[in-house]
Amino acid sequence: MKKGNVAVMTGCILAFYVGIIMFIYFPVLHINEADNFKAAMTFEVIGLLALFLLIIGNIVLPHVKTGYFIPLIMVTAAYTIIRNIITMVFVGFMPSVVFILLNLILLFLYCLLSIPMYMMGKK
């Protein structure tokens, strides 16, 4: 399969994922009425950019060894799932400072795991 086709399919899957998440956040959870709306959307964008750049970036410019790329994708997917669960459960009633702190700790742990994997996997 050509890289262009894989990149387009991956982009469509990511767009579908964003559509599902935004549907859950806005019509179902009414996240725009929560105090933590800005923080939740900021961390959502950070997570989506990490996922998008990791997947699309490695298709277009392959420079991470496969042995490191697969665990890196798994760590990124786990980070995204955990962050979405935290947002869906705690966005409505958790104080803003605690919500931001929890997301920053999660982002720090993600960086602590993913950056060394990425650096060791570079060709």
Q: Give pairs for 71-76: CB < 8 Å, separation 24+.
A: 71/117, 72/114, 72/117, 72/118, 72/121, 75/110, 75/113, 75/114, 75/117, 76/50, 76/51, 76/110, 76/114
> For residue 10, what pLDDT is reported?
80
As a whole number of angstroms, the distance between CA 96 and CA 64 comes to 37
Q: Is the model's pLDDT at 18 over the cut of 80?
A: yes
* Model pLDDT for residues 27-78, shown as the tens digit of each residue: 988 888 888 899 999 999 998 888 888 777 777 666 777 778 788 888 988 9
Tens digits of per-residue pLDDT, 20-39? 998 988 998 888 888 889 99
The pTM of the full predicted model, rounded to 2 decimals, is 0.83
Residue whose entry in the numeric block shows the structure tokens 């990124």: 76
Residue 100, pLDDT > 90, answer yes
